[in-house]
Every structure is written in C-alpha cells, then in structure tokens.
Amino acid sequence: MIDAAAVAAAVAAVEDPEYPGLTIADLGILHDVRVDTSSGAVEVDLLPTRLGCPALDMIRRDVEAAARTVAGTGAVDVSFRHEPAWTPSRITAGARRHLAQEMTVTVRRRDGSLTCPVCGGGDVETLSEVGPAPCRSIARCHSCRNPVEVMRA
Amino acid sequence: MNRTWESLAAFEAFLDGGGMVEPGDEMPEEYRREVFRFIELHANSELMGALTERDWISRAPGIRRKQSVLAKTQDEIGHAHMLYMVAADLGVKSRTQILDDLLEGRTRFHNVFHYQAVTWGDQVAIAYLVDAAALVAQQAVFKDCSYGPYKRILRRIIAEEGFHMRQGEELVMGFAEGTEVQRKLFQESLERWWLPALQLFGPDSAPDDPLLRWRIKSERNEVLRDRYVQKFVPLLIGYGFEIPDPHLQFDDDTQRWVIGEIDWEPLKATLRNLGPDSGRRIRTAAEAWASSQWVRDALETA
C-alpha cells in the first residue's frame, strides 16, 4: 500500500525553481496533499505567489515527478488554487531568515514596516513595485545603500 | 563604521585577507573606477539584453514560450535597475549620465548583443548558450567579489539565471527532439552564436589585471571559457548538434575538450560598437528610452 506520509514529504521537499535552497513548503506555496491509499491517486493543491508566475509549469512537473518517486503512486493531479490566496505571511520563519541572509530579500512585517535584510535598518524605500520576478519589488536601504528586494503581497 | 585606508597597500592587504568593501567605505579611486566600469558594463548588458528579448515576446511560438520570454525580459529590466543603482551610488557618473553614454554609443555592452537574432532558433541559442556563458562568468564573480552590494545582487541574479537556464534547456530539448526542420534551424543558430558565446568571456586575462588583483572578479577569462566549453560541448553533442569548430578535439590524455584558435576581430569590433548590429541596437534602445519619457514625466509629477 502506498505510504501517504512519504508522498507528502516528497512533495513538500520540491525546491522552488527561483529560490534555490527553499522548498514550496517553506514558501507557503504547498497547500494540501491528498492520497487515495486504495488507488494510489495523489492530488496536490498549490497556491501560486502570483497569477503570472513563470515558474508554475516547472513547479507542477517537479511536484508530479516527486510524487512518482514513492512506490505505489498512481495518477498525480496538481492544481493551482487561488482560494485561499497566497500571501507573504505564509512564508515560514526559517525561510524568511534564509531569504534575508542568503538573498537579501525581505518580507514586510504585519504592521507594514520593512527591515533591511543587509543592515537591519528601517529606512527602506520601495522604488519599483515589480522587480526581476513578479513576486518581488525593488527597494533601497538608505542606511547601508544596498538595493534589496521585497516579497510582494 | 566606514573604513578608511592609510595607503593603497593597506587597502590591498584588506582585500587579500578576504575583506569586503561597502558603499560608505573609503576606496582608492582606481578601485572605484574599475568596479564602476565592471558594474556599468553588466547593467548596460542587462538592459540591451532585455530590449532584444522584448522583440520576441510577440514572435515566440505559443503562449508558454511567450511567457518564458516575458519573464526573462522583466527579469533583465529588474537586474538593470538594481545594477544601475549600485553603479550610480559609486559616484563616478550619475544614472542619467550612464544611460546617455550607453544610448549615444560611448560605452560598452556585451558582445553578444551586437548581433541580430533573426530566427526563433537564434533566440533560443541566446537563452541557452549565451545566458549560460553569462551565468558561468557571474558565478565566478559572485564567489569572491570584494564589492559587497554587487555580490549581494549577483546572488539573486544567479538564482534567476538558473531558472532561465532550465527554461532555455527545455527550449533546446524541443528542437533536439523535433523534426528535421527544427533540428536544422537550431543547428544554424548554433553556428551563428557559438563563437560570440565563447568570446563573451573576453580574451585571455592580462597577468596584472586589476579586476583580479582587487577581487572584483576571481577567475581568469580563459579559465571560465574552458569551464564553459567542458560543460556545453558534451551537452550539445549529446543533443545531436554539431559544434561549429573544425579544430575541436577531445584530448584523451587530459580527458578534456580542446577548441580551435579564436578569431578575436569580431569581438574587437563589438567593443568599439561596430559589430554587425550595433548601430541598430543602440538606435532601438535610444528610441525605447525616448518614447517612454512621458511615463517618467508622469511619475515625477505624480
């Protein structure tokens, strides 16, 4: 019989193609994994960060491939859901640290404030709502003068 | 705390010890100029790349490929934006001056953007071969770059480029597994773009290259080129394509691919903005800048 926990773990371990070192679970993109233990059918619900994310197709295929690494997996059905909507609040604390330290990307606090991922200062100004990826804005820290990026809500 | 130096020797000792230079630090004028020129070239190349990419959004076959070209265009504009920010912050030239110099043909951008992409095969060759060459070069700079803000941007650029490499690979696979006509189309593009891709690394580094001495980059041009050759020659042959180099050989003793001698004249022409498509590229970029003036005006008065 198929090991449902193994399927869930394999899917959760899929790395995001644009965030090396972070998984779709870390980023809060993974919403739900359902396994039918009799047929081996797997259903995965994902929440895209943005509607126009160019990596969705790749993520879909990576998730399908990951589910199939588990013995007994039957049909794999990956769907992108927009309800509930993805928000940066879904990013785990560990992933936030990784984003800040490794990629100088920051996540806006609940009160709307921004902290510079380089120097920790609070004088961060958004300069371009859309950055290199549709899920990030470009900002500049006026204290340490580094360009940084901010995950978009 | 911003750092200051008593002498060039003290600054170099700091760099030799793995030190990182930050925007508020004092830095020798020569270092400032070298790091500025390096970032300016990178920024200009991202912008010129984005503009050529843009031409293919409407022409790419099918919605998925259009989406991939669109993503790359956005990505490169974003990179250019951040790189210009870091370049201008060095205080050598203002952002306006940097753009004026580029659009009036006074400064450089990467050799590969001095050629015209005629077919979709060319566009894929750029996405796969040229971007991979840029990625190899950027990874080497990132590894040990002494200028902090640039190194931090490179980390993100490399992550993005890695993603685009996968997209490029899929496009090449599409040709490799396609019909005879498709395979031929990409083979022809490979013949046009292989040499420019090898030349992207530049001629062999001078022994006293200040970029190396000050860890603005950490590896010699010829080393990077060789790394690229060792990786991409077997990949392309594996896909069933032919490398357009009659002198290409596999050395059984060293187990390495050895390429024929490179003719550097085409590169020299592009460095003077006299490549086959330089004039049109610069003109197109200047037109794009001028025609979007109203957006900047609107933003400034908003």
Residues A63-76 pLDDT 10s: 999 999 999 999 99
A12 and A72 both lie in a single domain: yes
Which residues contact residue A41 at a Cβ distance below 8 angstroms, ignoring those fewer than 6 apart? A35, A74, A75, A76, A77
Query: Minimal Cα–Cα distance from B290 to chain A, Å?
Result: 20
Q: What is the pLDDT of residue B151?
A: 97
* Domain range list for chain B: 8-228+274-301
Query: Minimal Cα–Cα distance from A43 to chain B, Å?
Result: 24
Q: Do B156 and A103 touch (CB under 8 A)?
A: yes
In this predicted model, which residue has the larger pLDDT, A145 or A112? A145
Residue A124 token pair: 């961060």
Alpha-carbon Rg of chain B, whole angstroms?
20
Mean pLDDT value of segment A86-98: 96
Interface test with B, best of A50, A125, A145 (most B CBs within 10 A): A145
A73 and A92 both lie in a single domain: no
Q: What is the pLDDT of residue B2?
A: 80
Q: What is the pLDDT of residue B164?
A: 86
Report the domain count for chain A. 2
A54 and A38 both lie in a single domain: yes
Alpha-carbon Rg of chain A, whole angstroms?
17
Structure ipTM: 0.91
Query: Minimal Cα–Cα distance from A72 to chain B, Å?
Result: 28
Interface test with A, best of B82, B89, B155 (most A CBs within 10 A): B82
- Of the residues A48, A80, A112, which one is the last residue of a structural domain? A80
Q: Which of B23, B68, B159 sits opposite A144 (nearest CB)?
A: B23
Q: What is the mean pLDDT of each run of 10 residues along chain B (302 residues)?
A: 87 95 94 97 97 93 90 94 97 97 97 95 94 94 96 94 89 95 97 97 94 95 97 96 97 97 96 96 96 93 86
Q: Residue A60: which pLDDT band, with cuts at 50, 70 and 90?
A: very high
Q: What is the pLDDT of residue B67?
A: 87
Query: CA–CA distance from A147 to each of A32, B78, B81, B94, B128 (Å)?
Result: 35, 11, 9, 16, 28
Separation between Cα atoms, residue B31 and residue B146, nearest integer Å = 10
**Is residue A82 over pLDDT 90?**
yes
Note the CATH number of domain B8-228+274-301. Answer: 1.20.1260.10
Q: What is the pLDDT of residue B1?
A: 58
Chain B residues within 8 Å of chain A (Cβ atoms): 22-24, 64, 67-68, 70-71, 74-79, 81-82, 85-86, 89, 148-149, 152-153, 155-157, 159-160, 162-163, 166-167
Q: Do A104 and B81 touch (CB under 8 A)?
A: no
Q: What is the pLDDT of residue A23?
A: 98
CB atoms within 10 A of CB B230: 12
Q: Specify the CATH number for the domain of residue A59.
A: 3.30.300.130
Question: If you measure CA to CA, which chain A residue comes closest to B83?
Answer: A147
Share of chain A above pLDDT 70, in %: 100
Q: A47, A81 in Cβ contact below 8 A?
A: yes
Interface test with A, best of B156, B296, B299 (most A CBs within 10 A): B156
Q: A73, A42 in Cβ contact below 8 A?
A: yes
Domain that holds residue A130: 88-151
> Among all chains, which residue has been given the structure tokens 């659009």?
B103
A46 and A102 both lie in a single domain: no
**Entry pTM:** 0.94
A26 and A57 both lie in a single domain: yes
